């Protein structure tokens, strides 16, 4: 089955050059060799043209929030790719910028010899602008391919105000798309002409990423002009670690997901969001693994499309709860970004939320902190400080505490717009999964996005849903969590 046209978007009007030397797959967002429609499309093109395939995976050093943490995670993935692609008839070129703008010109140099470029069509961060700018500069077709989620982004032509509304839409629309699954390994059994090397002129100026950097050398990382204040996270990046994380989740945590996922001290969620963010694993692989475990078939889908949170997929209650997060909530934000609705997170809020927050903008705030206080976990609230320390140290935060974290930033900042800016800054700087459509939706949710008004009307929040550390501590045990993240970092 060829990759469906709903997922492929020509980004310029340039031709395919039949006499080019190779097909170029420019991997920027879907950093994985498996279940990847973009790689699959590039293989299709190579086979049709009878040309070699070059995979260029780049890592810039001047993107917002570039740090040891984010770089290490991507570099781990590149190491996996080097080993993986070595077994296939593909030329893999990992390129890591060693100075600002050093990579400029590489894509054009490759494009000058390519038949066409296949690129990743990701709807957030600086990536849409980068792809559009590149499409204008190259002389061949640049085709952007959507491997983001289960529903192709172009199927929904409107944004949705709530998860409920989106779920109803999915329940009507998804059955036609569920069987359109990317190939597990698009290079398996494929025979392509091989390109032994790129021209020396290219590899001299834009060499293969340094071995020391790829193998994890902290010194090599320190030489790059990125933020060294944000250290590597304790977890490893790359598709190998992503697959291990998925297997562990399915074996040990999924059965408890619906009942216990909100416990801050429990580890009952998947921990997959960093891998999903960097495209090191795709939703199809995750969903497929759940389907396989539960012996699922399309006949199990409910014919109803009432937007109910459970019972539609025909899976166990735990799996339904998980799939609702992975598909409904995740793809809601991808839909919002693809349609440009989430790009300005303040404007993205529903009218009632913007109005109620504006009405309470000048309310007295018993506690007021600025970005530095928040970043350093210097508030009066031990639970909040512990959550912020976890984010700084580990690049992650439990979902329940993440909601509380955002609500308190709203309560303790100078105003809602300042709170929004602080949340975005801290989340995108420290969280491995930040800079994602889910970052915008999660942070927006703290201010009323995809939610409804809640009474009673309160100071600062107005009718935006309120949360408190005291309630959290009443609902769940948090002593162990507090002890774990209590000590300020040295
Ligand atoms: C203030 C705030 C900021 C957030 N920032 C981010 C972010 O930068 N990146 C990010 O991926 N998520 C973000 N979220 C959503 C959510 O907290 C994380 O997706 C989740 O905690 C990731 O952990 P997990 O992979 O173990 O999730 P699981 O519970 O195992 O869920 C599986 C997957 O479903 C998706 N998912 C789960 N919950 C949500 C949700 N509420 N909204 C959208 N998708 C969801 C994620 O892709 C997640 O990896 C944020 C939420 C809040 C309240």
User: Would you say 444 and 342 are in contact if contact means Cβ atoms under 8 Å apart?
Assistant: yes
Q: Which of 123, 323, 438, 464 best tests ligand 1's pocket when mutated (most atoms within 8 Å of CB)? A: 438
Q: Does some domain include residue 155?
A: no
Sign of CA dihedral 182, 183, 187, 191: negative
pLDDT tens, residue by residue, 167-224: 999 999 999 999 999 999 999 999 999 999 999 999 999 999 999 999 989 999 999 9
Q: How many domains does the chain have?
A: 3
Distance, CA of 431 to CA of 418 (rounded, Å): 19
Q: State whether 362 and 480 are in the same domain.
A: yes
Ligand 1 touching residue 384 (CB < 6 A) = no
Q: What is the mean pLDDT of each run of 10 residues along the chain (490 residues)?
A: 96 98 98 98 98 98 97 98 97 96 97 98 97 98 98 96 98 96 98 96 97 93 97 98 98 96 93 98 98 97 94 97 98 98 96 98 98 98 97 96 98 98 98 98 98 97 96 93 78
Q: Does some domain include residue 192?
A: no
Q: State whether 360 and 333 are in the same domain.
A: no
SS3 450: coil
Burial class of residue 51 (count of CB atoms within 10 Å of its CB; 0-12, 13-18, 19+): buried
Q: State whether 310 and 350 are in the same domain.
A: no
Q: For residue 250, what is the domain's CATH number? A: 1.25.40.80
Among protein residues, the one whose CA lies closest to atom 37 of ligand 1 = 325
Q: For residue 109, what is the domain's CATH number? A: 3.40.50.620
Query: Where does a domain end: 320, 338, 356?
Result: 338
Q: Does some domain include residue 327?
A: yes
Query: Where does a domain end: 117, 147, 177?
Result: 147
Q: State whether 91 and 29 are in the same domain.
A: yes
- Burial 417-445, CB ≥16 within 10 A → b, else e: ebbbbbbbbbbbbbbbbbbbbbbbbbbbb
> pLDDT at position 489, please?
54
Q: State whether 288 and 369 are in the same domain.
A: no
Structure tokens at 321: 């709860």
Q: State whether 50 and 109 are in the same domain.
A: yes
Query: Where does a domain end: 298, 321, 338?
Result: 338
Q: State whether 315 and 424 are in the same domain.
A: no
Q: Does some domain include residue 154?
A: no
Ligand 1 touching residue 329 (CB < 6 A) = yes
Nearest atom (ligand 1) to Cα of 406: 1
Residue among 215, 231, 201, 260 at smallest CA distance from 400: 260
> pLDDT at position 450, please?
98
- Burial 310-348, CB ≥16 within 10 A → b, else e: eebbebbebbbbbbbbbbbbbbbbbbbbbbebbeebeeb
Domain with 273, as residue range(s), is 239-338
Q: State whether 1 and 80 are in the same domain.
A: yes
Q: State whether 40 and 135 are in the same domain.
A: yes
Residue among 239, 264, 266 at smallest CA distance from 255: 266
Distance, CA of 383 to CA of 263 (rounded, Å): 14
Among protein residues, the one whose CA lies closest to atom 16 of ligand 1 = 399
Structure tokens at 26: 């420019």
Ligand 1 touching residue 397 (CB < 6 A) = no
Ligand 1 touching residue 271 (CB < 6 A) = yes
Among protein residues, the one whose CA lies closest to atom 42 of ligand 1 = 329
Q: Which of 149, 309, 399, 406 best tests ligand 1's pocket when mutated (most atoms within 8 Å of CB)? A: 399
Q: For residue 445, what is the domain's CATH number? A: 1.10.579.10
Q: Which of 150, 248, 325 best tests ligand 1's pocket when mutated (most atoms within 8 Å of CB)? A: 325
> pLDDT at position 484, please?
93
SS3 328: helix
> pLDDT at position 216, please?
87
Q: State whether 315 and 356 are in the same domain.
A: no
Q: Does some domain include residue 177?
A: no
Helices 239-248, 68-85: axis angle to 10 degrees equals 100
Q: Does some domain include residue 113?
A: yes
Structure tokens at 183: 């190939």
Nearest atom (ligand 1) to Cα of 326: 34
Q: Does some domain include residue 213?
A: no
Q: Does some domain include residue 208?
A: no
Ligand 1 touching residue 283 (CB < 6 A) = no
Q: State whether 372 and 331 are in the same domain.
A: no
> pLDDT at position 1, please?
81
SS3 content of the chain, % helix, strand, coil (to 5): 45, 10, 45
Distance, CA of 281 to CA of 239 (rounded, Å): 6
Q: What's the 436 CA to ligand 1 centre distance in angstroms? A: 10
Q: State whether 327 and 467 are in the same domain.
A: no
Q: What's the 400 CA to ligand 1 centre distance in angstroms? A: 10
* 156: enclosing H helix or E strand: none
């Amino acid at each position: 089955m060829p990759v469906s046209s709903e997922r492929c978007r020509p980004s310029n009007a340039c031709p395919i050059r039949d006499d080019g030397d190779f097909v170029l797959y420019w991997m920027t967002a879907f950093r994985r060799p498996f279940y990847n429609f973009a790689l699959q499309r590039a293989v299709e093109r190579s086979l049709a043209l009878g040309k070699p395939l070059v995979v260029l995976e780049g890592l810039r050093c001047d993107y917002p929030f570039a740090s040891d943490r984010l770089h290490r995670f991507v570099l781990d993935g590149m190491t996996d790719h080097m080993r993986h692609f070595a077994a296939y008839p593909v030329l893999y070129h990992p390129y890591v910028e060693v100075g600002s703008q050093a990579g400029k010109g590489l894509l054009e140099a490759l494009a000058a010899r390519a038949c066409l470029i296949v690129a990743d069509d990701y709807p957030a961060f600086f990536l849409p602008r980068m792809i559009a700018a590149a499409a204008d500069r190259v002389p061949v077709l640049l085709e952007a391919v959507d491997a983001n989620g289960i529903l192709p982004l172009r199927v929904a032509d409107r944004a949705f105000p709530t998860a409920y509304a989106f779920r109803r839409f999915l329940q009507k629309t998804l059955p036609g798309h569920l069987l359109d699954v990317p190939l597990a390994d698009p290079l398996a059994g494929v025979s392509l002409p091989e390109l032994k090397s790129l021209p020396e002129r290219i590899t001299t100026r834009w060499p293969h990423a340094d071995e020391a950097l790829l193998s994890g050398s902290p010194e090599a990382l320190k030489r790059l002009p990125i933020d060294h204040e944000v250290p590597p996270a304790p977890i490893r990046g790359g598709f190998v670690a992503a697959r291990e994380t998925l297997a562990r989740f399915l074996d040990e945590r999924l059965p408890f997901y619906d009942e216990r996922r909100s416990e801050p001290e429990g580890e009952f969620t998947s921990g997959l969001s960093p891998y999903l963010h960097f495209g090191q694993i795709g939703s199809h692989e995750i969903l497929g693994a759940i389907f396989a475990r539960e012996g699922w078939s399309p006949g199990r889908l409910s014919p109803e499309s009432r937007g109910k949170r459970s019972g539609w997929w025909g899976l166990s209650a735990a799996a339904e709860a998980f799939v609702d997060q992975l598909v409904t909530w995740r793809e809601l934000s991808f839909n919002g970004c693809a349609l440009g609705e989430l790009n300005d997170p303040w404007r993205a809020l529903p009218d009632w939320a913007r109005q109620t927050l504006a009405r309470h903008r000048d309310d007295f705030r018993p506690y007021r902190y600025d970005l530095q206080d928040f970043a350093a976990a210097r508030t009066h609230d031990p639970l909040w400080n512990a959550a912020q320390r976890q984010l700084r140290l580990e690049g992650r935060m439990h979902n329940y505490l993440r909601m509380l974290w955002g609500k308190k930033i709203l309560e303790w900042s100078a105003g809602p717009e300042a709170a929004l800016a602080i949340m975005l800054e801290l989340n995108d700087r420290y969280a491995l999964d930040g800079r994602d459509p889910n970052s915008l939706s999660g942070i927006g949710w703290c201010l009323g996005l995809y939610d409804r008004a809640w009474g009673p009307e309160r100071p600062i929040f107005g009718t935006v849903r309120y949360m408190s550390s005291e309630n959290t501590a009443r609902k769940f045990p948090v002593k162990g969590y507090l002890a774990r993240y209590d000590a300020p970092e040295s």
